[in-house]
Amino acid sequence: MAEKITPRAEDFSQWYQDVVIQARLADYSPVKGCMVIRPNGYSIWEQIQKDLDQRIKKTGVRNAYFPLFIPESFLKKEAEHVEGFAPQCAVVTYAGAKELEEKLVIRPTSETIINSMFAKWIQSYRDLPMMVNQWANVVRWEMRTRLFLRTTEFLWQEGHTCHATGEEAEQRVRQMLRVYTEFAEEVLAMPVIAGQKSESEKFAGAFKTYCIEGMMQDGKALQAGTSHHLSTNFAHAFGTLFLDKDGKQKEVHQTSWGVSTRLLGGMIMTHSDDRGLVLPPRLAATHVVIVPIFPQSQGQMQARTQVIEAAQKVLGEIETASSLSNLPYSIGVELDQDETKQAGWKFHEYELIGIPLRIELGPRDLEKGQVVLTRRDLGKKEFVPMVQVGQVVVEALKAMQKDLLEKARAFRDARTFRVDSYSELQKKLDQPGGGFIEASWCQNSKCEEKVKQETKATIRCLPLTSEYEPIAESQSCVICGAKGRAVRVIFARSY
């Protein structure tokens, strides 16, 4: 239990792994590249699912479930799509003790299998928009994997919609980008930049890809969600047609959009510290743990009983305050009565697994009519009169959710730099702590590729105007110096 977490400053990558393993969020499995999500980690995924699922449903999308298997021929119907995914596919060749006639690919994403159903279900404009989402596992064979961030199998939601026009599809793509942005900031307390991917970074088969990008504490970028405008690319390949009001058969315009268990990795790398997990209250199942401090000398049964009774009263008052509050969740409170473990051991354990608030309560606190409250992110003890504990807990949880976002935003803003030359770009990328580098780019993929080859940084996104247009730059391209088509981009090294 008392393994040490490598400090972030010493080795960020080892720190991340230490937090994930020691807080029992996930573990390596015997299957190469696949992880096990342990109860402490899965509970966070359940909170993510619950909240995001409501946001998705509010936009009129319903959940469904499509097969894990995709016939190999389906994947090949859209040329760019198969080119992008074929190298990463896991393939079933043998089933039911027989060689299969047609190989089955484990879904790396479901545009193809879902289009085969859309083509069957959609007849007329009256069937549009058709909008479904599924929560599912997908498999992409990866060479280098990291818990949550890049695993061969991962969990995600993938939404798929069909529309009568390209304009409607574009509206939906933008709407989901907003849903993801709000969700990341309000729930994960992770500030993100919403932008557009460059041609070379967009989804295989998409017309246009939007994304949200977060900055981790090591200054690297993490793509936290994507929203794709597929245009009629898949509809054309699968014959997903509808009879329009004008009596003509037309291809539907589609979108797809998703976030995955990768969000857990992003959340951890945004907030956690050298003592372990720091969890935004909206992702916690248990928000408060009450640790009674028992009298040191034996035989003081009465004092012991008084401490337990006071702790139970505190628990009740927090639950009452929770039900009267306008918090978007019920406060989960636990009272740790285990006398076989020392209070110090418990403090360490609850810090490690990221319980947002800790309340201590001993005989001397009782005398003073107070409890000791410690916020996980601040680590500073605060004395709270027992009569105020319910209200103070509610306020502390609200403040912690807000502060985590603000702190992360301030961190990101302080590590975002504008550069006007290639040498400056290289210098900023190589300085300790990394960061996001804003620069002007001519939209030529050769310049993009040159930066990637020489610095290992990529264009994370083209930030957008309020009209969802790339931001035109009067400056010339920082790589080639060309003028005219230049737009603003963010370069960064990334996960």
* Residue 43, phi then psi, degrees to nearest 5: -60, -35
CB 225 within 8 A of CB 259: yes
Return the beta strands (E) in 366-423 as ranges.
370-375, 381-385, 416-418
* Closer residue to a copy of itself in complex, CB, 23/462: 23
Which residue in the set 14, 36, 330, 345 belongs to the binding site for a copy of itself (CB under 8 A)? 36
* Closer residue to a copy of itself in complex, CB, 106/373: 106
Tell the smallest beta-carbon distance from residue 319 to a copy of itself (Å).
17
Tell the smallest beta-carbon distance from residue 278 to a copy of itself (Å).
21
CA dist 373 and 185 (Å) reads 26
CB 280 within 8 A of CB 184: no
Which residue in the set 55, 59, 90, 275 belongs to the binding site for a copy of itself (CB under 8 A)? 90
Which residue in the set 71, 354, 362, 390 belongs to the binding site for a copy of itself (CB under 8 A)? 71
CA dist 242 and 214 (Å) reads 39
Which residue in the set 47, 116, 145, 260 belongs to the binding site for a copy of itself (CB under 8 A)? 116
Which residue in the set 89, 241, 321, 366 belongs to the binding site for a copy of itself (CB under 8 A)? 89
In the numeric block, which tokens belong to residue 192? 């993100």
Q: Is 250 in the site for a copy of itself (CB under 8 A)?
A: no
Count other Cβ atoms within 10 Å, centred on residue 155.
Answer: 18
The closest alpha carbon to 260, from 150, 168, 384, 347, belongs to 150
In the numeric block, which tokens belong to residue 249? 């058969």
Going by their DSSP bridges, the two strands 487-492 and 458-463 should be labelled as antiparallel
Q: Is 37 in the site for a copy of itself (CB under 8 A)?
A: yes
Tell the smallest beta-carbon distance from residue 47 to a copy of itself (Å).
12
* Residue 427, phi then psi, degrees to nearest 5: -65, -45
CB 233 within 8 A of CB 156: no
Which residue in the set 17, 22, 34, 127 belongs to the binding site for a copy of itself (CB under 8 A)? 34
Q: What is the rounded end-to-end Cα distance, in angstroms, of the chain?
A: 29
Tell the smallest beta-carbon distance from residue 131 to a copy of itself (Å).
9
* Maximum separation of any 2 CA atoms in the chain, in Å: 89
Which residue in the set 78, 111, 153, 170 belongs to the binding site for a copy of itself (CB under 8 A)? 153
CA dist 182 and 70 (Å) reads 33
CB 403 within 8 A of CB 439: no
Tell the smallest beta-carbon distance from residue 410 to a copy of itself (Å).
34
Interacting residues of 329 by C-beta distance below 8 A, sequence separation 6+ = 281, 282, 287
Which residue in the set 113, 188, 192, 318 belongs to the binding site for a copy of itself (CB under 8 A)? 113
Going by their DSSP bridges, the two strands 416-418 and 288-292 should be labelled as unpaired
CB 270 within 8 A of CB 217: yes
**What would you report as the CA-atom Rg of the chain, rounded to the nearest whole angstrom?**
26
Residue 323's region, left for phi above 0, alpha for psi from -120 to 50, else beta, is alpha
The reply to whether omega before 39 is within 30° of 0 (cis) is: no
Q: Is 368 in the site for a copy of itself (CB under 8 A)?
A: no
Selected range binding a copy of itself among 81-89, 162-170, 223-231, 475-483, rule: CB under 8 A: 81-89
Which residue in the set 7, 13, 31, 383 belongs to the binding site for a copy of itself (CB under 8 A)? 31
Q: Is 46 in the site for a copy of itself (CB under 8 A)?
A: yes
Tell the smallest beta-carbon distance from residue 62 to a copy of itself (Å).
4
* Closer residue to a copy of itself in complex, CB, 160/375: 160
Selected range binding a copy of itself among 35-43, 323-331, 459-467, 474-482, rule: CB under 8 A: 35-43
* Closer residue to a copy of itself in complex, CB, 142/186: 142
CB 365 within 8 A of CB 292: no
Tell the smallest beta-carbon distance from residue 281 to a copy of itself (Å).
20
Tell the smallest beta-carbon distance from residue 2 to a copy of itself (Å).
15
The closest alpha carbon to 350, from 335, 339, 364, belongs to 335
Q: Is 239 in the site for a copy of itself (CB under 8 A)?
A: no
* Residue 203, phi then psi, degrees to nearest 5: -60, 140
Q: Is 144 in the site for a copy of itself (CB under 8 A)?
A: no
Q: Look up residue 20 and give its DSSP letter.
A: H
Tell the smallest beta-carbon distance from residue 424 to a copy of itself (Å).
39
* Closer residue to a copy of itself in complex, CB, 19/404: 19
Which residue in the set 52, 136, 289, 404 belongs to the binding site for a copy of itself (CB under 8 A)? 136
Helix (H, G, I), strand (E, B) or coil at 360: strand
Which residue in the set 13, 14, 123, 137 belongs to the binding site for a copy of itself (CB under 8 A)? 137
Selected range binding a copy of itself among 86-94, 176-184, 326-334, 399-407, rule: CB under 8 A: 86-94
- The site that binds a copy of itself (CB under 8 A) totals a number of residues, namely 54
Selected range binding a copy of itself among 38-46, 203-211, 288-296, 432-440, rule: CB under 8 A: 38-46
**Residues contributing to the site for a copy of itself (CB under 8 A):** 27, 29-31, 34-39, 42-43, 45-46, 62-71, 74, 86-97, 103-104, 106, 113, 116-117, 120-121, 132, 136-137, 139, 141-143, 153, 155
